[in-house]
Amino acid sequence: MLRYAENRRKLFNIRIGICFCTALLLAVMLGPLGPSIAFVAYLGVDCAENWFLRNLPQKLDAGMSIARARCISALHATLTTLGICAFAVIPLTDPQIFEDDHVIVTELFFAIGAILGPALAASLDYRYNALAGITRLAVFSTVPVGIMVFAMVSGRVEALDLELELLLAGLLGYFMAQIWFLILVQRRHRNVRRALRSQALQRQALEDAYMRLFDQKQEARRLAMIAEHANDGVMLIDGDGRIHWVNDGFTRMTGFSFDELVGQIAGEILNSSETDPAALRAIEEGRAAGKSFRAELLNRRKDGKEIWIETNQVPVFDEAGRVEIYISVERDVTAAKSYEKQLQEARLAAEEGARTKEEFLATMSHEFRTPMNGVIGMAQMLLATDLSEDQRLYSDTILSSSRALLALINDVLDLSRMTAAGVSLYKVEFDLHACIRDTTLLMSRQAADKGLLLEMDIASSVPVWVIGDDRRLRQILINLVGNALKFTSNGGVEIQASATMVGGTLALSIKVKDSGIGIPEDKLDYIFERFSQADTAISRRYGGTGLGLSISRGLAQAMGGDISVTSRLGEGSCFTLSIELEPVPNAAQRSTKPEDPQEPVALAGLAGLRLLVAEDNRVNRLLISKFLADAPIQLYFATDGAEAETLARRYKPQVILMDMSMPEVNGLEATQAIRRLDMPQPFIAALTANVDDASRQACLVAGMDAFLSKPLSRQELLKLLIRFSETVRESESS
């Protein structure tokens, strides 16, 4: 369509010139009126068509459809064709044609001559705009037919039979010539287009081939530059390992020149006496398999210096599928291997340091707790005697101070253990309601001493039995509730527990609200840092080291949760513990009877129990004997593991309290020896100041049945003995 518009616009001036000359000639011959009117009419329609075709590209870009453009161009073609036909029929306006003896032949000849050229041009336009071409040809064809009909109707034809036949034959020849020319033009147009298309395709194929060749040459040039100037070494070797080519990087890396390397067997000239045979076998196996492979091996430079090389070898195949050559990229990894060795040594040193620190913590735990066991135990026994008011005050002071010191020792050891080896969690089934309730009961004495209310609210959405680490949960709750009570003078503390199921996990939320002194907003994050409190004056007034919240948050995060806090100064605080637990399936049948931790123990249930205590510390032996002075049991003492084994053979005790750390033969070794004896096996409970998880696990692996940590609680000891005693009676009766 655009080509049609371009051709029409190029011939605009020529068409106007021809029409002007034709109008001038007719004006001279027939008078100026008719030709002038015809010229003006043609000039107007041709100018309109020229303006439309000149603006056609912009109209198409603006959204005009091709079909609409063709229709408009066909309308313009009709108007311009009618203008040309006006020139062809002007002679018919001559008065001479109405004379009786006038035969309309010259007018017909003039009309055919006037429209012949434009008709041929219309056949050429058909190639690009078929609608406009057909319109022009149809209009041009009506002119001679119309003149002939006019002659027949007006009765101006002389010798009608002969001349009419000649006129019809001439018109037929005229139409056949137009049709033949149109077919010829279209055929030549198709042939030319086909030839041009073929030439364009060939030219495009040649250009594509040239571009591929150019790209290949450029790629080859770039690859050659990379291979030649790369820092890594590149060499071409055959299947036997013989070198065919190396780059400058390889010569710099090995110290050998190009001529010294080419033609040599790579392994013979480069391998060191220290080269790992396994690496050489891996290279041989890779080449034998004809696949890409990678290996690290120790090579020797020309100057004798040993270097570590990482080789990546890729096979190149010929047309028959056989390995033609190997491209080997070599990289000096000596520095990386040295760094790897340093990292390995550093890792071993760190592991050794962690192990040493764990041993030190275990030792310190034992050394701290052993004397504290004597102090706290004797203070408890002293309070159980008849004392004066001053003596009771002194004893209470000793006991409270000892417990405060023990809490500080526990916090420091917990923090050090978390830093050294992280947090170890043990998942067991436990009663969640009892865990929260026991914590409340345990802290109720402290609340009562300060005249505070301590309330507990467990939502119905909280299941009773869950799977998790109840020991760590109790530790967090005691820290949070203890802090709330410590910083509250009036009002009270409330514990609220709720839970929701998220997938197959129970999301537990426990809020500890108090009406205490509150925390400034800018200190809310600061309080979770180690050895930090919201204000230094708080430490002087209320005491504490600032470790409790840091340890509690670390434990909560290890349990898949966190601790958050909201507070307003002077209005109290709310600490929210969020952790993840697992629900226990079919837990509805389990007993949920609460157990009072302060409930007195019936000593009659211990009647006849044989108890052996293996303890090397004299104060601890004295403390246990005082704890059990009024219990109806047979009590034996051993001062080390070897003596414990001997007394176990002799007295066959039903329960043994075994200290882990004893001279010569420790508690773990003594337990293993007793488990090998051919005798009724007793219940063995670990009695140790080592409270870390590793020590607990070691006791269970050695064959112990329970774990008692120092400082000992008389209530806890008696409950353990009652439980073992009941089990002993059940087994003996059966």
- Indicate the SS3 state at residue 65: coil
Candidate from 108-122, 236-250, 521-535, 608-622 with smallest mean pLDDT: 521-535
603/630 Cα distance (integer angstroms): 8
DSSP secondary structure letters along 648-702: HHHH--SEEEEES--SSS-HHHHHHHHHTSSSPPPEEEEEES--SHHHHHHHHHH
pLDDT of residue 608: 83
pLDDT of residue 505: 87
Q: Extract the tokens encoding 640.
A: 């080390």
- Indicate the SS3 state at residue 543: coil
Count of helices and strands (H, E) across the chain: 23, 17
Please give the mean pLDDT across all residues of the chain: 79
Q: Extract the tokens encoding 33.
A: 């009126």
What CATH number is given for 230-332 in this structure? 3.30.450.20
527/505 Cα distance (integer angstroms): 30
Candidate from 94-98, 301-305, 383-387, 456-460 with smallest mean pLDDT: 94-98
* Residue of 61, 84, 80 whose CA lies nearest to 9: 80
Q: Judge contact between 137 and 115, C-beta under 8 A.
A: no
* Residue of 685, 688, 692 whose CA lies nearest to 709: 688
Q: Judge contact between 391 and 641, C-beta under 8 A.
A: no
Is the bond preceding 680 in cis, omega lying within 30 degrees of 0? no
| Structure-token match 């080859």, residue found | 220
* Residue of 621, 415, 428 whose CA lies nearest to 528: 415
Among the four given CATH numbers 3.40.50.720, 2.60.120.620, 3.40.50.300, 3.30.565.10, the one describing domain 424-583: 3.30.565.10
- For 86-173, list the strands marked E by DSSP: none
pLDDT of residue 272: 79
3-state helix, strand, coil in the chain (%, to 5): 60, 15, 25
620/629 Cα distance (integer angstroms): 14
Does 46 or 222 have the greater pLDDT score? Answer: 46
Q: Outline which parts of the chain fall under CATH 3.40.50.2300.
A: 603-733
pLDDT of residue 161: 44
DSSP for residue 42: H
Candidate from 224-228, 261-265, 275-279, 585-589 with smallest mean pLDDT: 585-589
pLDDT of residue 733: 64
116/113 Cα distance (integer angstroms): 5
Most confident of 283-287, 483-487, 507-511: 507-511
CB atoms within 10 A of CB 131: 15
β-bridge partners, 307: 299
Candidate from 179-188, 679-688, 719-728 with smallest mean pLDDT: 179-188
pLDDT of residue 102: 55
* Confidence band of 543 (pLDDT split at 50, 70, 90): very low
558/425 Cα distance (integer angstroms): 8
pLDDT of residue 330: 84
Residue 5 has pLDDT above 70, yes or no: yes
Q: Judge contact between 251 and 231, C-beta under 8 A.
A: no
pLDDT of residue 155: 56
pLDDT of residue 358: 63
Residue 222 has pLDDT above 80, yes or no: no
366-414 residue pLDDT tens: 666 667 766 777 777 777 778 887 787 777 777 766 766 766 666 666 6
Q: Outline which parts of the chain fall under CATH 3.30.450.20.
A: 230-332
Candidate from 160-169, 427-436, 467-476 with smallest mean pLDDT: 160-169
Residue 529 has pLDDT above 60, yes or no: yes
57-113 residue pLDDT tens: 888 888 888 888 888 888 888 888 888 888 777 777 766 655 555 556 666 677 777
Q: Which amino acid is at 119?
A: A
* Residue of 326, 333, 268 whose CA lies nearest to 307: 333
Q: Judge contact between 597 and 526, C-beta under 8 A.
A: no
* Confidence band of 154 (pLDDT split at 50, 70, 90): low
pLDDT of residue 688: 75
Q: Outline which parts of the chain fall under CATH 3.30.565.10.
A: 424-583
Domain 603-733 fold is Rossmann fold (3.40.50)
Q: Judge contact between 452 and 494, C-beta under 8 A.
A: no
pLDDT of residue 510: 92
- In degrees, rounded to 5, the angle at the alpha carbon of residue 612 between the alpha carbons of residues 610 and 613 is 145
In this prediction the pTM is 0.41
Q: Give 426's contacts (C-beta < 8 A, 6+ positions apart).
A: 469, 471, 693
Q: Give 87's contacts (C-beta < 8 A, 6+ positions apart).
A: 19, 22, 23, 26, 35, 38, 42, 114
Average pLDDT over residues 296-309: 86
Give the length of the chain. 734
Residue 534 has pLDDT above 50, yes or no: no
Does 691 or 337 have the greater pLDDT score? Answer: 337
Q: Judge contact between 347 and 335, C-beta under 8 A.
A: no
632-644 residue pLDDT tens: 888 999 988 889 8
Torsion of CA 16, 21, 22, 24, to 10 degrees: 120
- Indicate the SS3 state at residue 304: coil
Residue 558 has pLDDT above 80, yes or no: yes
Residue 573 has pLDDT above 60, yes or no: yes
| Structure-token match 């015809």, residue found | 38
| Structure-token match 């119309």, residue found | 146
